Chains A and B, each alone.
Chain A
Amino acid sequence: MFEFTEDHIKRYSRHILLPEVGGIGQKKIYDAKVLLVGAGGIGAPVAYYLAAAGVGTIGIIDEDTVELSNLQRQIIHSMDDLGKEKAISAKETIEKLNTDVTVVTHLERASSANIMDIISKYDIVVDGSDNFPTRYLINDACILSNKPLSSGAVFRFNGQVMTIVPHEGPCYRCLYREPPPPDMTASCQEAGVLGVLPGTIGLLQATEVLKLIIGQGDLLCGRMLNYEALEMDFRKIKVNRNPSCAVCGDNPTITELDDYEAFCQMKF
């Protein structure tokens, strides 16, 4: 059992002061195990802030290494990390921030072969992946293992966030039945993204994760938040669970995982 030291009381005092958190909520945060799919544009700020918040166990799945073109937005990595595995770079940055946090690195690509086993060790999943095959894989894996998922996506100046609580609200597949065909997204490698955008989206996801952990507030469950940075417009779109959804519907046809062909390697 986690007991607060004087340093814990100081470090987390602004949380403990919140009526919705308190020492009880802070202990829940410490006990939580959160899996991040990707330590890129979205995963970087999520990992950094959840570590600061005191999430006790953070898992990171990422097989990529840090490149110079990542540093425009992936704030958990720095010049010294170029060439290093992103998950290891993130772990090292987190260890400098907060030694209360245990970071578990999974230096592999999420696939139908490994994801169920990895997810089983965590309570909540954050999808910050950069491609549709992974997005659908993580959605399906979370439904099949009954784990809440924060799903986020960024494109140019536009971002979306949705929280998926299996069988309580819609899943990603209720919204879009199948990934778009590869030729529809052919231009995505040249799409670009405003560097701060995945920060905004990632922190909205981190907020949902903390709400899930402390059991407070209203989640983006059944509502998709759409953010248009150029117009500075935040809009929530109501999304219903689809009773005929292939994975979370009443008679699901997806009962085990499959891998879609990777067709877009754009690294957000």
Chain B
Amino acid sequence: MSDQVNIDKELNIKGEVCPYTFVKTKLAMETLSPGQVLKIILDHDPASVNVPKSLRGEGHEVLDLSKNENDDWVIIVQKKR
């Protein structure tokens, strides 16, 4: 899935924990225009649930949630508004 979409911005927040994982995600989302796509890399397990949930709560579309080759979480999200 993540190979097929165009990533506009990448955010590496490995080492961050909740709620700063979402705080930094949100700040990154604010720099994008609607339709653009953010790739988030994180390693705090609860954030793999919380960040997509909060992103959906703010109206964005989570396109993919997966683990990469380093066993980190990768979230692909499209800004909707």
Does A23 lie within 8 Å of B26, measured CB to CB? yes
Does B26 lie within 8 Å of A17, measured CB to CB? yes
Indicate if A16 sits at the interface (CB-CB under 8 A). yes
CB distance from B37 to the nearest CB of A (A): 19
- Digitize B44-67: 1 where CB-to-A-CB distance is under 8 Å, 0 elsewhere: 000000000000011000000000
Contact of B19 among A4, A17, A19, A23 (CB under 8 A): A17
Does B30 lie within 8 Å of A10, measured CB to CB? no
Q: Please tell me the number of chain B residues within 8 Å of chain A, measured between CB atoms.
A: 10
Number of A-B pairs, beta carbon distance below 8 Å: 25
- Digitize A9-34: 1 where CB-to-B-CB distance is under 8 Å, 0 elsewhere: 11001001101001110000000000
Residues of the A chain whose Cβ atoms lie less than 8 Å from the Cβ of B20: 9-10, 13
* Smallest Cβ-Cβ distance to A4: which chain B residue: B27
* Smallest Cβ-Cβ distance to A18: which chain B residue: B26
Within 8 A of B (CB), among A147-188: none
CB distance from A9 to the nearest CB of B (A): 6
Within 8 A of A (CB), among B16-41: 19-20, 22-24, 26-27, 30
Residues of the A chain whose Cβ atoms lie less than 8 Å from the Cβ of B24: 9
What CA separation (Å) do A64 and B1 show in the bound complex?
A: 67
* Smallest Cβ-Cβ distance to B59: which chain A residue: A19
CB distance from B51 to the nearest CB of A (A): 12
CB distance from B50 to the nearest CB of A (A): 11
What CA separation (Å) do A17 and B26 show in the bound complex?
A: 8
Does B30 lie within 8 Å of A19, measured CB to CB? no
Residues of the A chain whose Cβ atoms lie less than 8 Å from the Cβ of B19: 13, 17
Contact of A9 among B23, B30, B57, B58 (CB under 8 A): B23
* Smallest Cβ-Cβ distance to B57: which chain A residue: A19
Does A13 lie within 8 Å of B58, measured CB to CB? no
Residues of the A chain whose Cβ atoms lie less than 8 Å from the Cβ of B58: 19
CB distance from A10 to the nearest CB of B (A): 7
* Smallest Cβ-Cβ distance to B31: which chain A residue: A23
What CA separation (Å) do A175 and B57 show in the bound complex?
A: 42
What CA separation (Å) do A213 and B15 show in the bound complex?
A: 33
* Smallest Cβ-Cβ distance to A12: which chain B residue: B23
* Smallest Cβ-Cβ distance to A15: which chain B residue: B23
What CA separation (Å) do A4 and B30 show in the bound complex?
A: 13
Does B22 lie within 8 Å of A23, measured CB to CB? no
Contact of B30 among A13, A17, A22 (CB under 8 A): A22
CB distance from A56 to the nearest CB of B (A): 18
The contact sample of 25 A-B pairs, CB cut-off 8 A, is A4-B27, A9-B20, A9-B23, A9-B24, A9-B27, A10-B20, A13-B19, A13-B20, A13-B23, A16-B23, A16-B26, A16-B27, A17-B19, A17-B22, A17-B23, A17-B26, A19-B57, A19-B58, A22-B26, A22-B27, A22-B30, A23-B26, A23-B27, A23-B30, A24-B30
A contact residues vs B (CB 8 Å cutoff): 4, 9-10, 13, 16-17, 19, 22-24
Since A10-B20, A19-B58, A23-B26 are in contact, a sample of 10 more A-B pairs with Cβ atoms closer than 8 Å, ordered by chain A residue number, is: A4-B27, A9-B24, A9-B27, A13-B19, A13-B20, A16-B23, A16-B26, A17-B22, A23-B27, A24-B30
Which 10 pairs between the two chains have the least Cβ-Cβ distance?
A23-B27, A13-B23, A23-B30, A16-B23, A24-B30, A19-B58, A9-B23, A22-B30, A16-B26, A17-B23
